[in-house]
Amino acid sequence: MDFSVEPEFARRMDADDPLAALRERFVIHDPDEIYLDGNSLGRLPRPVMDALRDAVERQWGQRLIRGWNEGWIHLPRRLGERIAPLIGAQPHEVLVSEGTSINLFKLALAALRVRPGRHKIVSDVFNFPGDLYILQGIVDLLGEEYRLELIPSRDGVHIHPDDVAAAIDEDTALVALTHVAFKSAFMYDMQAVTEQAHQAGALMLWDLCHSVGAVPLELNACDVDLAVGCTYKYLNGGPGSPAFLYVRADLISQLQSPLWGWFAAARPFDFDLDFIPVQDISRFRAGTIPVLSMLALEASLDVFSGVDMNALRARSVQLSEYLLYLADQWLLPLGFEVGSPRDPARRGSHISLRHSEGFRITRALIEAPPPKVRVIPDFRAPDNIRLGISPLYTTFEEIYRALSRLREIVETGEYEAYSAERQAVT
């Protein structure tokens, strides 16, 4: 595709794209605020507002405890069935409960228990630190023979397939990787890596936090054993919305969650004194669920109805390639570097632009008073400005305006007015 630096080009791309209308399914409170952080917290889908009003006024306000039998109790499975088609899984292989960190703990420990005699967990240096902490905690819990080995990166952007192959061996029980890296957006070949893990006799666990909702996923076709992922990023489930987990059908009854919660029991309301786990995916539930967050998530998934994930991915790639085109024309001469893979097949749906003044530039993007356009990306140390592309609602014109602002901020030295002091959440 031939891009152009003219603003009319962006407007024409939006006007000609049938998927651009999906943006109307979201609340856009200020069209002059450009939100490029949907990979951290997705925008508010319109159907959520009515659903939450009903959840509070009618379901909680009027139905009270009866709500549990009127549907709340089945939310973890019901939502799992809604997420299954987005990840290429069968409806009974997916469950929504707790958060990603906790689901990772449950599945990783369950996996290690069925690979006795093997003591290595393989992950990589790009993994989300929170995932690595969970894995480190598991190693600490299991004792000295266990260890976590991290696949290195040669260039800070990609992981080389040879380095993956070198790390997985006969002692490997579990390969636990994030499919799309949170910083560089590097994306693994899921099929190839899963096959490598299986050839060595290890189980494969993918974290899909930065893929689901933006990248088509085929867990069954890739023969993936286990997966976890959050719902508040490209799935737009709302702040702190509960996460999902996936266990391949034949493994469900073989694996046992280390958290023997009462909702994982075969008959929770028998209040039996001894734990007998249920046989289906609900055996990975723990305790009482956050019903309001789950109802918000359920309504948020409506925005995916009728959406072809391959078409959505094509839009994400086109928006990303356009962003890179503008970065090449305008930003690289100003000291920026591209911190994401150039090959779209190896890249998720965000682009990291690196600059030594990245933090202050990010502040200028977010804080500059009107009439300047406000742009909201996020910043990941030491120098990554992450620009998230949510193909359901990000437009070409927004990319154009955001990159124009980046150019202006650096060209004029506008960022020098901002201090380098950090806030708690960047």
Ligand X SMILES: *Cc1c(COP(=O)(O)O)cnc(C)c1O
Taking CB under 6 A as the binding criterion, the range among 123-131, 302-310, 385-393, 413-421 that sits at the site for ligand X is: 123-131
Structural contact between residues 188 and 159, judged by C-beta atoms closer than 8 angstroms? yes
Handedness of CA 90, 262, 70, 294 (dihedral sign): negative
The correct pick among 124, 207, 225, 357 for binding ligand X (CB under 6 A) is 207
**Nearer of residues 130 and 277 to ligand X, judged by Cβ:** 130
Beta-bridge partners for 205: 176, 226
Return the DSSP state at 292.
Answer: H
**Nearer of residues 76 and 99 to ligand X, judged by Cβ:** 99
Long-range contacts made by residues 111-117, C-beta under 8 angstroms, separation at least 24?
111/173, 111/174, 111/203, 111/205, 111/225, 111/226, 111/255, 112/138, 112/142, 112/146, 112/173, 112/174, 113/255, 113/256, 114/203, 114/254, 114/255, 115/173, 115/174, 115/201, 115/202, 115/203
Per the residue annotation, which of 131, 207, 225, 383 is the catalytic one?
207
The correct pick among 82, 210, 350, 407 for binding ligand X (CB under 6 A) is 210
Nearest to 108 by CA among 173, 186, 33: 173
User: Residue 228: what are its φ and ψ, rounded to 5°?
Assistant: -135, 165
Q: Does 372 qualify as catalytic in the annotation?
A: no
Least distance (Å) between residue 181 CB and ligand X: 8
Binding residues for ligand X restricted to 231-260, rule: CB under 6 A: 243
**Does residue 230 belong to the site contacting ligand X (CB under 6 A)?**
yes
**Nearer of residues 39 and 59 to ligand X, judged by Cβ:** 39
Least distance (Å) between residue 290 CB and ligand X: 13
Least distance (Å) between residue 10 CB and ligand X: 29
Q: Does 302 qualify as catalytic in the annotation?
A: no
Nearest to 44 by CA among 241, 271, 184, 214: 241
Per the residue annotation, which of 233, 283, 360, 380 is the catalytic one?
233
**Does residue 67 belong to the site contacting ligand X (CB under 6 A)?**
no
Encoded one letter per residue, x for contact with ligand X by CB under 6 A and - for no contact, window 155-184 reads -----------------------x---x--
Give the three-class secondary structure for 133: helix
**Nearer of residues 97 and 318 to ligand X, judged by Cβ:** 97
Distance CA 234, CA 392 (A): 9
List residues binding ligand X (CB under 6 A): 99-101, 128, 130-131, 178, 182, 207, 209-210, 230, 243
Looking at the annotation, which residues are catalytic? 128, 207, 232-233, 386
